[in-house]
């Protein structure tokens, strides 16, 4: 069982790559800019009968890592910075693995700063990549040894 610990909760003001316009319409994953007013996009994680609010990137990295662990029949403890209902910040320790039932919900109307931890997101993404299956790479025809691409194998039979 692996233990992943974040560098601690960070709070930053609104950042362009973390914001979406208020009233934005989502169309197949794309965002249509509607107005100039911005709100912070957060995610609510539902886990073990409770709910926790954290940054979008943190929530997505956690779910991706949980899925990768599940594919390998493994588990890990991951501490994620969260924002409580009263606005204070804390850390929640998630046990994730094959039996994890994690659901996230996008919260468009949240006020305050997004919970960020770029180091933890990068670490979770790296751990997820380590558990991801290798994909074969097709070799271009230009790299085939000379004289093999046009060979007529029927002469051999």
The two beta strands, 76-83 and 2-4, are parallel
User: Residue 32: which pLDDT band, with cuts at 50, 70 and 90?
Assistant: very low
75: left (phi over 0), alpha (psi -120 to 50) or beta: beta
pLDDT tens for each residue of 104-141:
999 877 677 889 999 999 999 999 999 987 766 665 65
pLDDT tens for each residue of 37-72:
445 579 999 999 999 999 999 999 999 999 999 999
Can you tell me the distance from the alpha carbon of 32 to that of 105, in angstroms, rounded to the nearest whole number? 20
pLDDT computed for residue 124 by the predictor: 96
Task: Read off the DSSP letter of residue 63.
Answer: H
Copy the structure tokens of residue 77. Answer: 């403890």
Instruction: Count Cβ atoms below 10 Å from residue 120 Cβ, excluding itself.
Output: 25
- Are the beta carbons of 104 and 53 closer than 8 angstroms? no
């Amino acid at each position: 069982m692996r233990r992943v610990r974040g560098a601690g909760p960070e709070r930053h003001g609104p950042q362009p790559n973390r914001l979406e316009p208020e009233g934005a319409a989502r169309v197949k994953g794309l965002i249509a800019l509607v107005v100039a007013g911005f709100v912070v996009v957060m995610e609510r994680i539902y886990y073990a009968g409770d709910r926790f609010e954290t940054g979008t990137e943190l929530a997505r990295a956690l779910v991706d890592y949980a899925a990768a662990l599940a594919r390998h029949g493994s588990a890990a403890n991951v501490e994620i910075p969260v924002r409580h209902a009263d606005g204070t910040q804390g850390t929640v320790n998630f046990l994730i693995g094959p039996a994890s039932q994690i659901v996230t919900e996008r919260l468009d109307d949240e006020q305050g700063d997004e919970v960020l931890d770029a180091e933890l997101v990068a670490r979770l993404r790296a751990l997820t990549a380590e558990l991801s299956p290798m994909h074969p790479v097709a070799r271009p025809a230009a790299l085939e040894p000379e004289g093999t691409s046009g060979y007529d194998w029927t002469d051999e039979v």
